[in-house]
Amino acid sequence: MVEIVNGENKEEDEKGPQCQKLCENRFFDFLKATPSKEEFFKSDSAPSSFSFGCRSQSQIIDISSNPSPPDPAPDTNDGGGCFCIPFIRKIKWESLFTYCKNWVKHPMNISLLIWIFFVAACLIALFLLMTGLLNRAIRKDSDRKKWTEILNQILNALFTIMCLYQHPRITHHLVLLCRYGSKDILELRSIYCKNGRRKPHERAHMLFVVILLQITCWSQYGLCALYWAFTSKTRPDWPQILFFALGTGAPIVAGVYTVFSPLGRKNHSCNDEEFQRNYEARSVENELKLYEKRVIVASPEWAGGPLDCWDDKSVFCLSFFCTFCVFGWNMERLGFGNMYVHIITFILLCSAPVIVFGVAALNIYNDTIRYLVGIAGITLCLLGLLYGGFWRIQMRRRFKLPGTGFCCGFLAPSDFIQWFFCWSCSLAQEVRTGNFYDVESDGFCRKDCKEGSERILTSLSGENVAGDSIVTLRLDSEEGSRRAQEEDVDVEMIICSREGEVEVARNEMMRPPVQSWMKEEDDEARRSGSGM
């Protein structure tokens, strides 16, 4: 055991900050802990109360140095002994509240919460009907069956919509697993593997998870077909039970398998050869980017306003008549995912709700509920345009573009409103901005150094070089390239300064003198010395 006397122990000083850091960051570790059997059987009687406490820093050090369990706490209750659990840490409610608040701010999470709310409300109402708790409110058995069918149709529509929204992305992952190129591997690892690191037999594990997710979607489609093609009296039971079991069990197995399989385990190996190769490749790529010295625009601007559509008429016409295709192409060009996934997802968001909820409304024999379900489908189709507003926010944040803030100074709602009321103008502005700059992974770069432009080699301002070292050449011509080779132009740094020009500094200070020139200098010095 480590003795602690007036804080003079060095081992305590070394372990103290580490334990404090663990207590601050890992406030859910108590879910993984198991009680000590020895401590449990040492108590005289069965525990009637549980004391959940947080140990001090000195106690944590004491336990870490001596693994033997401490003596049980004295009995403070009349009914039995007190069972103290020493491994539970205090929950940081403030940190938990901050995390939940940041999570709720995400638009996708807000949509998920709304979907969960309606699903939970329908499930609770269906449970009350099936258990007979609403028999007093709904006295007729025929009315209860009608309401049960209404709730089943609404739940079927909600789950079908969710599967339709997620299916393009899952299908894209299946295509990547079949193709399995170098870029595909990195993308799949970032989604399914913990920490994005290489796992043993990762392709087989990821394929198993993706197949389970595919089974979930197709089971829901089969269940949806049963609810649309048959009435409650003629609907067969065994296919309904089969599809329901597959649709419920497959995602649960996929989630548990992802966590407890090698995909969810930590990989502490720092000598992973593939990781080292990827790291070296990224380092070389970064060095090449630094050598090219492309100018990253620190404060880019939008290429015109949203209403400046006549600056590029072709872009505006394509944005209006081919919105989905232009949007998907622009998203892939900007580095926000696969083009076809964006196109299909956007189409489903703007068309699937009215189809799914419309067919569900036809199977509901209640005029009020039927109209409400139909209106909900039309509303969701209109709200599908907010998908473009969401990715406009991502584009603005990644490339540090300015926001309008006309909606009471809030930037994100302003982007949503702009896309909702004028999607073609917003999309045309995004396409024009992408055309105006060179797109990099972390920002926009000026479109200066491109083929066919007039590139000029000059000396950097402020450099102390001789006048004859300043070379001005047109590198896009054969004559300029030949002269650059003949005169041995040493280009050390290229900086895109303005359109069509490149500033180049020749490092004359580090270049050794020519040997023939040194011989001529020595001969002249000898002649002058002999003449004197």
Q: What is the 3-state secondary structure (H, E, C) of 349-380?
A: HHHHHHHHHHHHHHCCCCHHHHHHHHHHHHHH
Range with lowest mean pLDDT among 40-44, 83-87, 250-254, 451-455: 451-455
DSSP 373-409: HHHHHHHHHHHTTHHHHHHHHHHHHHTTPPP--TBTT
pLDDT in tens, 94-114: 888 888 888 888 888 899 999
- Residue 282: band (very low, low, confident or very high) from pLDDT cuts 50, 70, 90: low
Long-range pairs for 379-386: beta carbons < 8 A, 24 or more residues apart: 379/353, 380/161, 380/353, 380/354, 381/349, 381/350, 381/351, 381/353, 381/354, 382/420, 384/346, 384/349, 384/350, 384/351, 384/353, 385/350, 385/419, 385/420, 385/423, 386/107, 386/416, 386/419, 386/420
What does the buried/exposed string (b/e) look like for 102-119 if buried means 16 or more CB atoms within 10 Å of the residue's CB? eeeeeeeeeeeeeeeeee
Backbone φ, ψ for residue 445 (5° rounding): -125, 145
- Model confidence at 512: pLDDT above 90: no
More confident position, 478 or 153: 153
Inform me whether the pLDDT recorded for 84 exceeds 70. Answer: no
| Residue 95: predicted pLDDT | 86
Residue 234 has pLDDT above 60, yes or no: yes
CB-CB neighbours of 287 under 10 Å: 10
H helices present in 468-514, as ranges:
478-486
pLDDT tens readout for residues 114-144: 999 999 999 999 999 999 888 888 888 888 9
CB-based contact 475:481 (threshold 8 Å): yes
pLDDT confidence of residue 457: 35
Write out the two tokens for 487: 């005169």
Q: How far apart are CA 176 and CA 109, in angstroms?
A: 26
Looking at residue 90, the DSSP 8-state letter turns out to be P
Separation of first and last alpha carbons in the chain: 92
The confidence score (pLDDT) of residue 448 equals: 55
- As given in the structure block, the two tokens for residue 190 are 């970032």
H helix and E strand count, the chain? 19, 6
Question: Of 190-194, 338-342, 455-459, which gets the smallest average pLDDT?
Answer: 455-459
Among 20-34, 200-214, 244-258, 323-337, the range scoring the smallest mean pLDDT is 20-34
User: What are 491's two structure tokens?
Assistant: 């280009």
pLDDT higher than threshold 50 for residue 522: yes
Using CA atoms of 435, 439, 445, 449 in order, give the dihedral in degrees to the nearest 10. -70
pLDDT band at 441 (very low <50, low <70, confident <90, very high): low
**pLDDT at position 71 over 90:** no
Name the most confidently modeled range: 39-53, 77-91, 330-344.
Answer: 330-344
Which ranges of 105-236 would DSSP assign to H, the alpha helix?
Answer: 107-131, 141-179, 182-192, 202-229
SS3 state of residue 68:
coil
**Residue 211 has what pLDDT?**
96
Share above pLDDT 70 across residues of the chain, in percent, rounded to a whole number: 61
The kind and range of the H/E element at 444 are strand 444-446
The residue ranking higher by pLDDT, 78 or 412, is 412
Cβ atoms within 10 A of the Cβ of 444, count? 24
| Res 118: pLDDT | 94
Sorted by where each begins, the domain ranges of the chain are 10-94, 125-264, 291-447, 448-532
Residue 288 — very low, low, confident or very high, per pLDDT cuts 50/70/90? low
Q: What is the pLDDT of residue 149?
A: 92
Whether the predicted pLDDT of 502 surpasses 60? no
Q: Beta strand pairing status for 501-506 and 491-498?
A: antiparallel
pLDDT band at 446 (very low <50, low <70, confident <90, very high): confident
Distance, C-alpha 173 to centroid of its chain: 15
pLDDT given at position 246: 94
444-446 vs 49-52, strand pairing mode: unpaired
Higher pLDDT, 341 or 507: 341
More confident: 42 or 98: 98
Q: What is the H or E stretch that residue 49 is in?
A: strand 49-52
Residue 94 has a pLDDT of: 86
Question: Averaging pLDDT over each range in 125-129, 299-303, 518-522, which range is the top one?
Answer: 125-129
Tokens 């270049």 locate to 511
Which residue in the block uniquely carries the two structure tokens 């039927």?
370
Distances in Å between the Cα of 332 and the Cα atoms of 176, 341, 343, 344, 439 are 16, 10, 10, 13, 11
Most confident of 25-39, 116-130, 517-531: 116-130
Cβ atoms 388, 381 nearer than 8 A:
no
Average pLDDT, the chain: 74
Express each pLDDT in 137-176 by its tens digit.
Answer: 888 888 899 999 999 999 999 999 999 999 999 999 999 9
- Binned at pLDDT 50, 70 and 90, residue 492 comes out as very low
Residue 344 burial (CB count, 10 A): 19
Mean pLDDT of 393-411: 86
Question: Whose CA is closest to 55, among 87, 11, 92, 15?
Answer: 87
Alpha carbon distance 427, 323 (integer Å)? 8
Q: What is the model's pLDDT at position 192?
A: 93
What average pLDDT does range 24-41 have in this prediction? 46
- pLDDT of residue 237 exceeding 70: yes
Nearest one of 454, 499, 445, 504 to 295, comparing CA atoms: 445
Residue 18: pLDDT over 80? no
- How do strand 437-439 and strand 444-446 relate by DSSP bridges? antiparallel
pLDDT tens digits for 347-395?
Answer: 999 999 999 999 999 988 888 999 999 999 999 999 999 999 999 999 9
Residues 6+ apart with CB under 8 A from 58: 4, 12
From residue 323, give the alpha-carbon distance in Å to each of 168, 377, 412: 18, 21, 21
